[in-house]
Chain A
Amino acid sequence: MEFIQSAFLDFSRNKGRTFLTSLGILIGVMAVVLLTAFGLGLRAYIEQQFEDLGSNLIRVVPGKPLEGVNFSNPGSFITIKFDEKDVQNLSRIRDVKIIVPVYSKTIHMVAGNHKESSTVYASTGGIFKVLNVKAEYGRLFTDQDVDKRSKVIVIGQTLAEDLFSSAKNAVGKSVKYEGQKYTVIGVTEKKGGGGFGGPDFDSFTYMPYKTAYTFNTEKTFMVIIIQTKTEEAIKPVIRQADKVLLKRYDTDEFSIIQQEELLTAINSIFGIINSVLVAIAAISLIVGGIGIINIMYVTVTERIKEIGIRRALGARKSDILIQFLVASVILSLIGGLAGLAVSYIIVFFIQAYFPAYIDLNSVLLAVGVSSGIGIIFGVFPAKKAAELSPIDAIRYE
């Protein structure tokens, strides 16, 4: 108790010095906590995006996207395209609930004087179920629209506002693309997203895939999304789909990805990037620690006589050691807690733009690391103080 009191007494007498020394730790802790908060926020954001997509989904894609691009992996260069035959073959697998082929293309559409570019998802009516998309105005297209090759589209709200100035007015209007006219039959509910590299669903255009054959002349698909009837069916369906596709393609020409797998892969990539950033930020903590060690050496020198007096009055070496260790830990903790407080404020204001958040682990990390730095960087000056000869110390002027 006496040590803690004495440490605070000392800090209040040297406010400027205490502030500057803890500033080093403050900045270090802040850098680590903020980067962790951003990492956590990004992860939560990605998970949210995936949750919006419905469950029990399997994606069949060309190549080996999850294995990365490298020269020993030719799959990353070969791009096959799927066609209706694949869709038919896959749809015969047991426990497949919905099968959704997707062709996508960025097109420039015109409505009156407005010209906008948009990503078109050409698919079946099932796309709305697997992507969890609902109509805000008008209706979504159905499989009948697909079979009839109806020239209809469903567009996102942002896109509708850009083309027709109001989302409500968009229904019934038409857009032109490559000489063809398409009628807007529906506007989707706002989904948010975009801005962080994720897809902006509100600027999408959905179209029956057979209608899109006018510009998808090869009649191919980039992705086939399969929804299984149950979660248990996911693995068997993947095995069956693999068998079916191997009849037409080589094993490294396509991948069957479970939604969760994709999420895990993305998370692990972001996890690595984030860890590297946090590790770099941690260097500033070491710099802060050097500030502590410096100031503690100065403090020990200033207080040599006091150390001598305390030793003469019966203080053991360990008493002196603890006194200075407590001081450096408190100094470092002040910086750590202040860093945490500043991080909280920054996260609070940034949350409007970015889903960053500070979790309990970050708090424990900040407190733990700053106490640890206090001990590690305080122990050398404290040992120096403890090892002083009492008589030399008390005579020191």
Chain B
Amino acid sequence: MIQLKHVWKKYQIDEDVVFTALKDISLTIEKGEFTSLIGPSGSGKSTLMHIIGLLDKASEGEVLIQGQNIADLSDDEISTLRNEFVGFVFQQFNLINKLTIKENILLPTTYARKNLAYDPSSRADEIMERFGILEKAHSYPNKISGGQQQRVAIARSLIMSPSLILADEPTGNLDTKTGNEIMKLLAQLNNKDNITVLIVTHEQGIAEKTKRKIQIIDGALL
């Protein structure tokens, strides 16, 4: 489903200083996998996730999503792919504070270019009910707990029925108990809803909960 071929990411820091964040990464993630990308901070794991999630571009190499080279796609096509194919879950939750929980969850549907096969509002209600946040539908993100905010973020990532969920340190801002609940939820999405899940983490304990571990150190896969 996702294929990276000899991907490099380099940043021009100064006129003659180049920082190499990713070195010759080649990897394949198949549909239905539950994978973790583990590495210490500064290892390039977030950069890699951003490239897989189409938020960033590789300096060299090829990124193929369902066999399609994303270098051939326009910015609008990539935006549509982000909208329909990927769901993001961030460490900082990244909810929009002036919108209600439900409005946050529905936000991706406002950018949908295709006709949705379902009614967005009732689908949002279903997901909120499943995640136990339905009664918070009209609250604002800063009025609910961190665990609840992360559930909202996961709900938002699910609203467009994506094939892939990318979670960047999803438990990083949560206590262990809440973190475990979030991990359970992500595992459920993988085995019940058959969504490919990729979790970026620096915690071995989190990585242990996934079926496949990809280790990255200093921008290279082990």
Q: Is there a chain B Cβ closer than 8 Å to A272's Cβ?
A: no
A319 interface residue per 8 A CB criterion: yes
Does A314 lie within 8 Å of B80, measured CB to CB? yes
Q: Tell me whether B96 and A315 are in contact (CB under 8 A).
A: no
| CA of A390 to CA of B98, assembled, Å | 20
Cβ–Cβ < 8 Å partners of B83 in chain A: 313-315
- Contacting residue for A313 out of B50, B98, B111, CB 8 A: B111
Is there an interface contact between A391 and B50, defined as CB atoms closer than 8 Å? yes
A308 vs B88: C-alpha distance when bound (angstroms) = 12
> Are A391 and B111 in touch, CB under 8 angstroms?
no
Q: Cβ of B75 and Cβ of A313 under 8 Å apart?
A: no
Chain A interface extent, by class: 20 to 34
Question: Which of these, A309, A312, A317, contacts B75 with CB under 8 Å?
Answer: A317
CB distance from B97 to the nearest CB of A (A): 9
Contact residues in B for A305 (Cβ distance below 8 Å):
94
Q: Assess whether B98 is in contact with A10, with CB atoms less than 8 Å apart.
A: yes
Shortest distance in angstroms between A17's beta carbon and chain B's nearest beta carbon?
A: 15
A315 adjacent to B56 (CB under 8 Å)? no
Contact of B56 among A6, A313, A319, A391 (CB under 8 A): A391
Chain A residues, CB < 8 A from B55: 311-312, 390-391, 394
B side interface size, CB within 8 A: 24
Q: Does B16 contact A (CB under 8 A)?
A: no
Q: Are B76 and A318 in contact (CB under 8 A)?
A: yes
Give a binary string over B7-42; 1 marks a CB under 8 Å from any A CB, 0 the rest: 000000000000000000000000000000000000
CB of B123 closer than 8 Å to a CB of A: no
For the residues of A in contact with B, the DSSP-based class is helix
Query: Smallest CB–CB gap between A326 and chain B, Å?
Result: 13
Contact B76 A316 (CB under 8 A): yes
What residues on A are CB-neighbors of B50 within 8 Å? 391
| Residue pair A13, B98 in contact (C-beta under 8 Å) | yes
A299 to chain B, nearest CB (A): 13
Interface centre among A310, A389, A391 (most CB of B within 10 A): A391
Most buried by B among A6, A309, A317, A319: A309
Q: A314-B111, A319-B111 are in contact. Are A9 and B82 (CB under 8 A)?
A: no
B interface with A by C-beta (< 8 Å): 50, 53, 55-56, 75-76, 79-80, 82-84, 88, 90, 94-96, 98, 107-108, 110-112, 156, 160
18 further A-B pairs in the complex, CB-CB below 8 A; given A311-B79, A312-B55: A2-B110, A9-B98, A10-B98, A305-B94, A311-B55, A312-B53, A312-B94, A313-B82, A313-B108, A314-B82, A316-B76, A316-B79, A317-B75, A317-B79, A318-B76, A391-B56, A394-B55, A394-B90
A-B contact pairs, 22 of them (CB 8 A): A6-B98, A9-B98, A308-B94, A309-B95, A309-B96, A312-B53, A312-B55, A312-B82, A313-B88, A313-B108, A314-B83, A314-B84, A314-B108, A314-B112, A315-B79, A315-B111, A316-B79, A316-B80, A316-B111, A317-B75, A390-B56, A391-B50
